Amino acid sequence: MDVRVQIPPPAQQPIRGAANGSAACPGGSVSRYGGIEFGGTKTVCVVGQRGRIDEEVRFPTGNRPLETVRACLQFLTGQGHLAGVGIGSFGPCDPDPASPGYGCITTTPKPGWSGFDVLRTLRSGLPDTHMAFDTDVNAAALGEWVHGAGRGVESLVYITVGTGIGAGIVARSGLIHGLQHPEAGHMLIPRPEAERRRFTGVCPYHRDCWEGLASGPAMHARWGRPPQEIPEDGEDYAKMWDLEADYVAAGLHNIVCTVSPHRIILGGGVGQQAALLSRVKPRLQVSLAGYVTHSALSESIDAYIVAPGLGARAGGIGAIELAARAHEHAA
Ligand SMILES: [Zn+2]
């Protein structure tokens, strides 16, 4: 496992040049960056400064990647000088700069995108711009660590529970990359026997991995409709969130026991539901059973498992941060 971004966290090394955290050019003007968040259904393209989005466009990701990337280029090239562009992409993709496939989508079942070289296509339209490519969840994790709910902590795990389940891990010196992106969403977790008989899971690769059991599509398949359509006063509501919390807490148990992060940020359309967050915390404490005895878990769990500070902007602000770091690294 290598740790690619070798920059200490902002608490130890404030960004020089501007009080609001924006890097300043030698002439005194503030650097502006582009960011792209390629999601499974929508693509968000932003321009801004570190920690700030000034312009944003969004369009369907679609099944014609060349058209989607060209739309991004059309927006970015109309924004004046950009010191860098950061990309956070759905996966599976290749975020390893040392790999020949760096910047490519790899084996996605999404029509049209498998094998598509995102980074090269973007570079062809912005040839002199520093670029950095990483996973969408890593971009969001970086954004939260530097500018959001993870400010000042040495390490964190950002988990999104929504259409899928993904995790981005930040340790002392930056984002953690392994052989490939760490796929915590596909870890295997224990299941009650009755549930095992009733529901097989929805992951096309593993069926009942964490994502196969606890993602939004898994909830939809189990309960017959999307979770937001289950009425709060209906009999399934509490059952649905209790079971979801059991599975999310089981995954968090494994993350606490393997990574031991200083903070967990739980995001995504399902992950940010108050009905889930309030149920997950006591379950995690029960599950850990006093074995992990830090006060962060026993006394301050409300500050240990938190919602994203940047909300839906985490990916865009994270992509801008990726761009800024690529620009700094090249300088
Ligand atoms: Zn899976």
- C-alpha 266/C-alpha 121 separation (Å) is 33
- At 111-153, the pLDDT tens digits run 899 999 999 999 999 998 999 999 999 999 999 999 999 999 9
- Measured in Å, residue 164 CA sits from the centre of ligand 1 at 9
Confidence of residue 109 (pLDDT cuts 50, 70, 90): confident
How large is the average pLDDT for residues 279-288? Answer: 96
**C-alpha radius of gyration, the chain, whole number:** 20
How large is the average pLDDT for residues 53-68? Answer: 95
- Measured in Å, residue 166 CA sits from the centre of ligand 1 at 11
- Measured in Å, residue 14 CA sits from the centre of ligand 1 at 39
Identical fold between 2-141+312-330 and 153-308: yes
At 28 the pLDDT is: 55
* Contact call for residues 284 and 297 (beta carbons, < 8 A): yes
Handedness of CA 91, 96, 99, 104 (dihedral sign): positive
- C-alpha 161/C-alpha 211 separation (Å) is 8
Helices (H), 45-192: 65-77, 118-125, 136-147
How large is the average pLDDT for residues 212-234? Answer: 95
At 16 the pLDDT is: 30
Q: Are strands 174-177 and 2-3 parallel, antiparallel or unpaired?
A: antiparallel
**Among 27-41, 158-172, 316-330, which stretch is predicted with the lowest mean pLDDT?**
27-41
At 180 the pLDDT is: 81
Q: Both tokens of residue 165?
A: 């389940």
Average model confidence (pLDDT) across the chain: 89
- Measured in Å, residue 202 CA sits from the centre of ligand 1 at 8
At 13 the pLDDT is: 33
Backbone angles phi, psi at 265, to 5 degrees: -110, 120
Provide the 3-class DSSP secondary structure of residue 267. Answer: strand
What percentage of the chain exceeds 90 in pLDDT? 80
- Measured in Å, residue 205 CA sits from the centre of ligand 1 at 5
- Measured in Å, residue 114 CA sits from the centre of ligand 1 at 18
Confidence of residue 257 (pLDDT cuts 50, 70, 90): very high
**Res 107 pLDDT > 90:** no
Predicted model pTM: 0.89
- Measured in Å, residue 48 CA sits from the centre of ligand 1 at 35
Residue with more model confidence, 40 or 42: 42
At 100 the pLDDT is: 94
What percentage of the chain exceeds 70 in pLDDT? 91
At 22 the pLDDT is: 44
Residues 6+ apart with CB under 8 A from 49: 20, 22, 30, 31, 32, 33, 320
At 55 the pLDDT is: 96
- Could you tell me the residue ranges of all domains in the chain? 2-141+312-330, 153-308
**Res 3 pLDDT > 60:** no
Homologous superfamily of domain range 2-141+312-330: ATPase, nucleotide binding domain (3.30.420.40)
At 21 the pLDDT is: 40
- Measured in Å, residue 212 CA sits from the centre of ligand 1 at 6
- At 178-209, the pLDDT tens digits run 888 889 999 999 998 989 999 999 999 999 99
**Res 12 pLDDT > 70:** no
At 162 the pLDDT is: 93
- Measured in Å, residue 187 CA sits from the centre of ligand 1 at 7
- Measured in Å, residue 211 CA sits from the centre of ligand 1 at 6
At 160 the pLDDT is: 96
- Measured in Å, residue 247 CA sits from the centre of ligand 1 at 14
- Measured in Å, residue 185 CA sits from the centre of ligand 1 at 7
- Measured in Å, residue 90 CA sits from the centre of ligand 1 at 15
How large is the average pLDDT for residues 213-222? Answer: 97
Assess if CATH 3.90.1150.10 describes domain 153-308.
no
- Measured in Å, residue 210 CA sits from the centre of ligand 1 at 7
- At 301-310, the pLDDT tens digits run 999 999 999 9
How large is the average pLDDT for residues 251-270? Answer: 96
Confidence of residue 110 (pLDDT cuts 50, 70, 90): confident
- C-alpha 136/C-alpha 118 separation (Å) is 13
- Measured in Å, residue 5 CA sits from the centre of ligand 1 at 28
- C-alpha 209/C-alpha 190 separation (Å) is 9
- Measured in Å, residue 272 CA sits from the centre of ligand 1 at 21
Neighbours of 229 (CB within 10 A): 10
